[in-house]
Structure 1
Amino acid sequence: MDGQKAQLRQAFKQRRLTLHAACAPSLRAQAIQGLPGLLPPDRALGLYWPLSGEVDLRCLAKLPVLAGRIALPCIAGGRLTYRHWSPGDPTSPDETGIPAPTSAAANLEARQIGLLLAPALAFDQAGVRLGYGGGWFDRLRQTPPWDQVPALAVVPSGCLVEQLPADPWDVPFPGWLDEQGVHWRPELQPVEQP
C-alpha cells in the first residue's frame, strides 16, 4: 500500500498545485465566512503553516472574532503540539523544518482547541485524508483527549475522490473545507429536531 500511496501523493500534489490559483481565493472566502461560527468561545483554531500548493488560511488571524485565538502546529520531541500564534510573532523551523511558533510559546492542551484544520492532498467519502505520509495528524487525533477535538481537512474540490487506500492507523476526518464551504460526512450530519 505504501507504493500506491506514494504514487497517489505525487499525482494529487501535482493536481492540487494546478488547481491552487483558481480555488485558493474561494476557499479562503469560505473559511472566513464559515469557520468562526464553528469555533466555541474562548477556544483556539488550529491552523497550519502552508506549504507549496496549500491554501494559506493565516488571514483568519486578522478577523476580530479570531484575534488571539489562532494556533499553529509544532513538531517537537517527536510529537505534534499546538502553540498560540498571531501575525508578526516569531517563528523558527520545527523538527520537520516547517515554521512554528518559537519554543518560548507554551504548548496548548486539547481542551484549548475548538477546531483543527489539516491540509490534504486528497480526501475521500469515508473521511480518509491523504497527506504527506508523516502521520503527525493521525497520531495526534487518535490520542485522548485530542480524539475529541473536531477536525476538518482543507482540500480543493478537484481533489475529492470516492475512495483512497487506508491504513489501520488512519483516523477519518468528520468533514472537509473546500471552495464551496464546510461539509460534514453524511453519516455525521447533525439531525434536525422538529
Structure 2
Amino acid sequence: MTDSCLATKPTLNITQQRQQIRRQMRAKRQQLSAEQQQQAAENICRQALALIAQYDAETVALYLAFNGEISTALLIEKLWQAGKTVCLPRLHPFTAGHLLFFRYDRHSLLQPNQFAIPEPELDLTRLVTKNELEIIFTPLVAFDRQGNRLGMGGGFYDRTLQHLQQRNVIAVGLAHQCQQVNQLPIEHWDVPLSQILVG
C-alpha cells in the first residue's frame, strides 16, 4: 500500500473549525419552523423574566433577532410593560469593532447598519453607559456546556463583554437547543457567558 493510500483529510485549524460550526448552526437555525421559533421565543421570555426578577435588574440590553436568531420581541414588550429600561446595541461610530447601547422604546427610530441589522439612531441623549447596564442578553451562533459562545465572527460582543466584565454586568446568551455543541474551539479573545438560556 502506498503512502498516498494512507493519506487522511487534513485537520482543520481553529479558524476553519469555527467557520464550519457557524455554517452548520446557521443552517440548523434556518430549518426551524415558524412554530418552533415562536415556542422558543416564549420559553426564552419566561426564563429571561425570571432571571431579571432574580437580580432585580432595571436596565437590560437586548438585541433584535436577525437571520434565525431567537426573537426578543415578546420579551421586550414584557419589559416595557414592567417599566424596565430596554437597550439595543449600535456599532460604535468611532471605535471600530465595539458596541454602544441606547435606550429603546416604542418611539425609537431604527436604521440598518452595514450588516443590514436594525440599530438605534445615534442620539447621545439616549446613550446608556456601561455603569448603567445590569444584564446583557446576547445572540449567538453556537454554544457549549462550559458557557462558551461563538458569534458571527466580528468580535463585537467579545470586545464589549471584556469591558463589561469589569463592572459585573451579567452576560446571558439566548439560543435554540440545536445550537449546542459538545465543545467549541476557543480563541484567546473569547469571553464566556455567565449563563445561557435555551429555548
* Structure 1 and Structure 2 fold alike (TM over 0.5): yes
- 1:63-110 deviations in whole A, cap 9, x for unaligned? 255445111000022220111101341112335442111112432112
TM-score norm. by structure 1 comes to 0.82
Partner Cα separation in structure 2 for residue 7 and residue 32 of structure 1? 30
Structure 1's 69 and 81: CA in aligned 2 closer, same or farther, altered over 3 A? same
- For residues 122-177 of structure 1, the C-alpha deviation after alignment (integer angstroms, 9 at most, x for no partner) is 11011111110001111011115655211111111111121010000000112111
In structure 2, what is the Cα distance between the partners aligned to 1:20 and 1:170? 31
- Using the alignment, how far apart are the partners of 1:114 and 1:18 within structure 2? 33
1:125 to 1:42, Cα distance in 2 relative to 1, 3 A: closer
The unaligned stretches of length 5 or more in structure 1 are: 180-194
Aligned partner (choices 37, 62, 68) of residue 50 of structure 2: 37
Q: Equivalent of 2:61, from 46, 50, 58?
A: 46
Q: Mapping of 1:1-194 within 5 angstroms?
A: 1-19=14-32, 21-39=34-52, 40-41=55-56, 43-63=58-78, 64-76=80-92, 77=94, 78=96, 79-105=98-124, 106-144=126-164, 148-179=168-199
Which stretch of structure 1 is more off in the superposition, 64-73 or 1-10?
A: 64-73
SS at match of 1:7: helix
After alignment, is 55-64 or 164-173 more displaced?
55-64
Q: TM-score, normalised on structure 2?
A: 0.80
Q: How far 1:116 sits from its partner (Å)?
A: 0.9
SS at match of 1:19: coil
**Counterpart residue type for residue 141 of structure 2:** L
Count of aligned positions: 179
Partner amino acid, structure 1, of 2:61: G
SS of corresponding position for 2:119: strand
**Structure having the higher Rg:** 2
2: CA distance, partners of 1:125 / 1:145 = 20
Identity over the aligned pairs, expressed in percent?
A: 25
Partner of 2:190, secondary structure, is: coil
Aligned equivalents of 2:48, 2:85: Cα separation in 1: 12
Give the Å deviation of 1:14. Answer: 0.2
Secondary structure at the residue paired with 2:127? Answer: coil
- The whole-number CA distance in structure 1 between the counterparts of 2:160 and 2:33 is 27
5+ long unaligned stretches in structure 2: 1-13
Which deviates more from structure 2 when the two are superposed, residues 93-102 or residues 48-57?
93-102
